[in-house]
């Protein structure tokens, strides 16, 4: 091989080495980025978080604020603490899985801006995370993107088939604490149940002198009365409703109620007047309305059937 041929071969080899070096450098850089990006949106220590703001592109805003170890919702309601715990767990464990394919990026970015949620996380009034989130139409894939970028990433929780974006899609009312009444015989002053069409079955439990009694019953079954009162010690609704949210329940609310339960307690928060409406055909849920809050709620009818006792239930059997 002459010198010219040797030189050409050497240049070719050097050229290949340069190309290999560049490829390796790029590959190494990409690997580092991928590992770093896995925790791009997550929060390692969620115990310090004291405010979370979730703003939907459609307009809904959810503000969760921690006050004295209690999470509050939109400065008005007590939040459902267990759902907040799930949210914090997701914020800690979620990771970037992979990039969105370039062929899908434009469509995903558009979906994020039109249907997504802006999530802002604060510690002592300092925002530590901010990102946009959305899911696919089938609610099987979750995407996140930094607010000022157009590079969506696929998110999951390692080892679980969770739909991560779903936590941000929860409607406002479903973030509310479902506990609506927590009365007990120690603080109860009066509890009455009135039926619209069957007045003979009405009754009133009343605190008198040193204990509770029921008007018009001479041989009171104290055990039956105490068991009934326990139904109100931890009464939870299944769902809150707003006007216009469901047409059939809006219409039902305009009809006469079938029964009303009135509770008067030492604690004003446990003093409620609850109207109950007839069951709709093939509907397992019962509509109720709280006069004090002008709030519609739904109960699973089977779950609260023990609330609807009649006066004779408290007569001691001879």
Q: If you write DSSP's letter for every residue of 61-74 in order, what string do you get?
A: EEEEEEETTEEEET
pLDDT tens for each residue of 168-185: 999 999 999 999 999 888
Domain end among 124, 149, 175? 175
The Cα 84–Cα 66 span in angstroms is: 10
The Cα 299–Cα 288 span in angstroms is: 7
Higher confidence at residue 308 or residue 293? 308
Q: Would 19 be classed as within a structural domain?
A: no
The pLDDT of residue 26 is above 70: no
Per-chain mean pLDDT for the chain? 88
User: 105 and 136 share a domain?
Assistant: yes
Tell me the CA distances in angstroms from 209 to 189, 212, 223, 228, 314, one per residue in order.
11, 8, 19, 20, 19
User: 224 and 304 share a domain?
Assistant: yes
* pLDDT bracket for residue 127 (50, 70, 90): very high
What pLDDT sits at residue 184?
86
Counted domains in the chain = 2
User: 91 and 190 share a domain?
Assistant: no
What residue spans of the chain are helical by DSSP H? Answer: 3-37, 81-93, 102-115, 222-229, 247-253
The Cα 41–Cα 96 span in angstroms is: 8
What pLDDT sits at residue 21?
39
Q: Would 36 be classed as within a structural domain?
A: no
What pLDDT sits at residue 270?
87
The Cα 132–Cα 144 span in angstroms is: 5
Tell me the CA distances in angstroms from 78 to 11, 264, 287, one per residue in order.
73, 21, 22
* pLDDT bracket for residue 24 (50, 70, 90): very low
The Cα 214–Cα 216 span in angstroms is: 6
Least reliable range by pLDDT among 86-90, 160-164, 217-221: 160-164
Q: Which residues pair with 191 in a beta bridge?
A: 205, 263
For range 16-45, the mean pLDDT: 55
Q: Would 32 be classed as within a structural domain?
A: no
Q: Would 26 be classed as within a structural domain?
A: no
The answer to whether 221 touches 164, Cβ cutoff 8 Å, is no
Domain end among 155, 175, 195? 175
User: 168 and 226 share a domain?
Assistant: no
Residue 251 domain boundaries? 179-314
The answer to whether 229 touches 191, Cβ cutoff 8 Å, is yes
What residue spans of 237-306 are helical by DSSP H? Answer: 247-253
The answer to whether 70 touches 183, Cβ cutoff 8 Å, is no
Residues 6+ apart with CB under 8 A from 96: 34, 37, 38, 39, 40, 41, 144, 153, 154, 155
pLDDT tens for each residue of 139-157: 999 999 998 888 999 999 9
User: 50 and 112 share a domain?
Assistant: yes
Give kind and range of the element (H or E) at residue 130. Answer: strand 126-135
User: 96 and 210 share a domain?
Assistant: no
pLDDT tens for each residue of 257-278: 999 999 999 988 889 999 999 9
Tell me the three state secondary structure of residue 204. Answer: strand
Q: Would 103 be classed as within a structural domain?
A: yes
For range 274-300, the mean pLDDT: 95
Q: Which residues pair with 64 in a beta bridge?
A: 52, 73
Domain end among 140, 175, 210? 175
């Amino acid at each position: 091989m002459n010198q010219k041929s040797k030189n050409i071969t050497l240049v070719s080899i050097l050229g290949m080495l340069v190309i290999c070096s560049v490829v390796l450098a790029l590959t190494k850089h990409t690997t580092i980025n991928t590992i770093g990006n896995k925790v791009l949106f997550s929060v390692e220590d969620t115990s310090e978080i004291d405010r979370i703001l979730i703003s939907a592109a459609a307009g809904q805003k959810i503000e969760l604020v921690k006050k004295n170890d209690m999470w509050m919702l939109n400065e008005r309601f007590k939040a459902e603490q267990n759902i907040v715990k799930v949210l914090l767990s997701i914020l800690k464990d979620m990771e970037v899985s992979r990039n969105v394919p370039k062929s899908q990026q434009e469509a995903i970015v558009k979906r994020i801006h039109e249907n997504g949620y802006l999530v802002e996380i604060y510690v002592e009034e300092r925002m530590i995370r901010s990102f946009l989130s959305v899911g696919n139409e089938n609610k099987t894939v979750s995407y996140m993107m930094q607010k000022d970028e157009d590079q969506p990433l696929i998110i999951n929780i390692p080892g679980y088939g969770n739909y991560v974006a779903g936590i941000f899609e929860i409607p406002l009312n479903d973030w509310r604490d479902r506990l609506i009444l927590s009365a007990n015989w120690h603080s109860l002053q009066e509890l009455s149940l009135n039926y619209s069409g069957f007045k003979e079955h009405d009754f009133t439990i009343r605190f008198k002198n040193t204990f509770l009694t029921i008007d018009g019953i001479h041989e009171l079954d104290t055990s039956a009365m105490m068991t009934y009162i326990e139904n109100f010690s931890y009464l939870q609704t299944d769902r809150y409703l707003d006007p216009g949210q469901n047409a059939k329940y809006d219409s039902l609310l305009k009809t006469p109620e079938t029964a009303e339960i009135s509770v008067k307690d030492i604690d004003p928060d446990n003093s409620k007047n609850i109207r109950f409406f007839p069951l709709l055909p093939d509907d397992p849920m019962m509509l109720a309305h709280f006069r004090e809050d002008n709030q519609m709620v739904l109960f699973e009818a089977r779950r609260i059937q023990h609330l609807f006792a009649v006066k004779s239930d408290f007569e001691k059997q001879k």
